[in-house]
A and B are shown apart, each in its own frame.
Chain A
Amino acid sequence: MKALVPVKRVVDYNVKVRVKSDGTGVDIANVKMSMNPFDEIAVEEAVRLKEKGALSEVVAVSCGVAQCQETLRTAMAIGADRGILVETDAELQPLAVAKLLKALVDKEAPQLVILGKQAIDDDCNQTGQMLAALLDWPQATFASKVEVADGFATVTREVDGGLETVKLRLPAIVTTDLRLNEPRYVTLPNIMKAKKKPLENVKPDALGVDVAPRVRTLKVSEPAKRGAGVKVPDVATLVDKLKNEAKVL
């Protein structure tokens, strides 16, 4: 049984991005890029399922510019068997990515697709659900535990107010939450080995997918700045300020 794991190249989570002064977007030139943290968890989970014998092959996929190759190499260093890059310079929105992934699923016929629950750049939280809809497969979003056996995936999900467990008929879509696992560190020998693993390059046209954006960004601006705060010397002053200045008590 094969799993497909889509991974996204995003601005590293530790970077505090700056909005461009002309309001056209955020400045990501010369900023450190990394694999989206939720996708690392997705790769790790697929590799663990393979190590347990539940999967036979893990294929990592990334859609975007040529540099996404690096992200795929990272996925292969974690343990993915091979990579597919859908290369395009176009701006890709979740619906377009879901369509590209559907075309790849039709070709590769995996039984499981594991995605991150959201990318930390656009914060959309859509692609997994959209892919499930396009394939008419069941979905389990925000997974914190995944078990695969006998043609079913049993997934515990993080929901408001606690946890929920659902059982999905395979093939199925799972999106990962933070607490699903702790991704392993990639080791130097594994980075070297990943360089030799196969990486296929395809174009959106070859998959027959129109990636034109449906949503136009008119403007990107800085969030409203908070007024400068004050340091209070002790608890008594704090209580006094909260009562008499902020009037929140």
Chain B
Amino acid sequence: MSALVIAEHDNRSIKGATLNAVTAAAACGGEVHVLVAGANAAGAAEAASRIAGVAKVLHADSPALAEGLAENLAAQVLALAPGYSHLLFPSTASGKNVAPRVAARLDVAQLSDITRVVSADTFERPIYAGNAIATVQSSDAVKVITVRTTGFDAAPASGGSAAIESVAAVADAGLSSFVGREVTKSDRPELTAAKVIVSGGRALGSSEKFGEVLTPLAEKLGAALGASRAAVDAGYAPNDWQVGQTGKIVAPQLYVACGISGAIQHLAGMKDSKVIVAINKDPEAPIFGVADYALEADLFQAVPELIERL
């Protein structure tokens, strides 16, 4: 019995979410192998081999795997699937894109967004926007899983010395092609990995105000910036800052919600944060129901004062 973790990487380095998936894989029992599929991804394979607890790194290199197209990456995983009892993907945009494709080809169910490994075939996962936790048991021979990264500690990125084995890369399926990418520029920490998150809602009023009021606070705290759906829809913040059921799921040490009412869908993305601070004018805002520290105040006065006192 062994587990294969499909690494998320940028061909040079391994993305943090992979480390959490390695921890979940180890909890399933058996050896943990990591697949690095990419183009000129020797650097990423090297980094994967240093992750503590990894027994072997499989490295598939081909231009067809350069952009992580679902059709090609799923075929690559399927080529290696025999011999593994567990296939684990981090629950990122890429992992969610590919894992069900692999599962359906294997004719097995896929388990989404697990938060705990109870045993090799039993897992916990949130349903209904995190308002219930289901304990589920899979009867399939192979478990195809996506791992909610906030549910597991990151495996140490160094200390391991796994062997790197080159594996044959699959041919391009020819079904799809990559056109381009528009990356949101940000010098702040990555949202899903940040220890502190400052998040803003509709109350900020404009994208200028959003940046003007929240950026200095984020800078002071070394925090990532997040946003509610309302703020994103109104154009105050980019889409990939959205925290919630349909955006990013985060669990930082400190989450500061400014001008966010706290709809069910938003709470689903942040209620596992260690400490939640809410700053809101409305004493009835549902965010106060989950906040450890609730400050009923106008954020345009409270946030600058907060920056001053830090």
Interface residues of A (CB under 8 A from B): 11, 13-14, 16-17, 19, 26, 93-95, 98, 117-118, 120-134, 136-142, 144, 154, 157-169, 177-179, 213-223, 226-227, 229-232, 234-236, 238-239, 241-242, 246, 248-249
Which chain A residues lie closer than 8 Å to B175 at the CB level? 136-138, 168-169
Instruction: State whether A126 and B69 are in contact (beta carbons under 8 Å apart), knowing that A168-B176, A218-B137 are contacts in the complex.
Output: no
Nearest CB of chain A from residue B121's CB, rounded to whole Å: 10
Which chain A residues lie closer than 8 Å to B110 at the CB level? 94-95, 124, 126, 130
Among A16, A129, A235, which residue has its beta carbon within 8 angstroms of that of B295?
A: A235
| B206 sits at the interface (CB 8 A) | no
Nearest CB of chain A from residue B71's CB, rounded to whole Å: 6
Nearest CB of chain B from residue A134's CB, rounded to whole Å: 5
Q: Of all chain B residues, which has the CB nearest A127?
A: B100
* Beta-carbon contact of A159 and B294 below 8 Å: no
Which chain A residues lie closer than 8 Å to B12 at the CB level? none
Among A133, A226, A232, which residue has its beta carbon within 8 angstroms of that of B100?
A: A133
Which chain A residues lie closer than 8 Å to B295 at the CB level? 231-232, 234-235, 238
Among B20-28, B45-53, B127-135, B153-161, the stretch in contact with A = B127-135
Interface residues of B (CB under 8 A from A): 67, 69-71, 74, 92-94, 96-105, 107-113, 122, 126-140, 173-184, 192, 196, 221, 229, 232-233, 238-240, 245-246, 248, 253-254, 264-265, 271, 274-277, 288, 290-297, 302, 305-306, 309-310
Shortest beta-carbon contacts, A-B, top 5:
A129-B100, A138-B175, A130-B104, A133-B104, A214-B109
Cβ contacts A to B, 7 pairs, < 8 Å: A17-B132, A123-B245, A130-B103, A164-B67, A223-B126, A230-B292, A246-B274
Q: 20 other contacts beyond A179-B233, A242-B275, with CB at 8 A cut-off?
A: A17-B132, A26-B132, A94-B110, A117-B246, A118-B246, A131-B104, A133-B103, A133-B104, A133-B105, A139-B101, A141-B96, A142-B93, A164-B181, A177-B246, A226-B276, A229-B276, A231-B295, A232-B294, A246-B275, A248-B254
Nearest CB of chain B from residue A56's CB, rounded to whole Å: 24
Nearest CB of chain A from residue B229's CB, rounded to whole Å: 7
Instruction: State whether A162 and B240 are in contact (beta carbons under 8 Å apart), knowing that A229-B292, A235-B302 are contacts in the complex.
Output: yes
Nearest CB of chain A from residue B184's CB, rounded to whole Å: 5
Which chain B residues lie closer than 8 Å to A242 at the CB level? 254, 275, 277, 293
Nearest CB of chain B from residue A149's CB, rounded to whole Å: 14
Q: Of all chain A residues, which has the CB nearest B265?
A: A13
Among B128, B229, B233, B310, which residue has its beta carbon within 8 angstroms of that of A11?
A: B128
Nearest CB of chain B from residue A83's CB, rounded to whole Å: 25
